[in-house]
Amino acid sequence: MRDQIRFLKGLAARPRMTGAIAPSGAALARRMASHVDPRGTLPVIELGPGTGVVTKALIERGVAPERIIAIEYSPDFCQLLAQRFPGITIIRGDAYDLDGSLDGRADRIANVVSSLPLVARPLEDRIRLIEAGLAKMEPGTPFIQFSYTFKGPVHPIPDTFRGEASGWIWTNMPPARVWLYRLP
Provide the 3-class DSSP secondary structure of residue 33.
helix
Q: Is residue 181 scored above 50 in pLDDT?
A: yes
Q: Which residues are CB-contacts of 16 (< 8 A; sequence separation ≥ 6)?
A: 117, 120
Q: Residue 158 — pLDDT band, cuts 50, 70, 90?
A: confident
Identify whether 162 is part of a domain.
yes
Please indicate, yes or no, if residue 77 is contained in any of the structural domains: yes
Instruction: Classify residue 79: in a domain, yes or no.
Output: yes
Q: Which range is most confident: 16-25, 60-69, 166-175?
A: 60-69
What is the residue type of 73?
Y
Pairwise pLDDT comparison (128 vs 20), residue with the higher score: 128
β-pairing, 111-114 vs 143-147, is parallel
8 in a domain, yes or no? no
Mean per-residue pLDDT of the chain: 89
Residue 173's pLDDT is 84
- Predicted model pTM: 0.87
Domain of residue 161 covers 24-182
66-83: string of b/e by CB count within 10 Å (b at 16+)? ebbbbbbbbeebbebbee
Asked if the structure places residue 16 within a domain, the reply is: no
Which band of pLDDT confidence, cut at 50, 70 and 90, is reported for residue 18?
very low
Cα 77 to the chain's mean position, in Å?
14
Supply the CATH number for residue 176's domain: 3.40.50.150
Whether the per-residue pLDDT at 11 is higher than 80: the answer is no
The pLDDT value recorded for residue 5 is 52
Q: Does residue 14 sit within a domain?
A: no
Residue 13 within a domain: no
Q: Which residue has the higher pLDDT, 154 or 5?
A: 154
Q: Is 167 exposed, middle or buried (0-12, 13-18, 19+ CB in 10 A)?
A: exposed
Report the 10 Å Cβ neighbour count for 116: 24
Domain count, the chain: 1
Average pLDDT over residues 25-40: 96
Q: Is residue 175 part of a domain?
A: yes
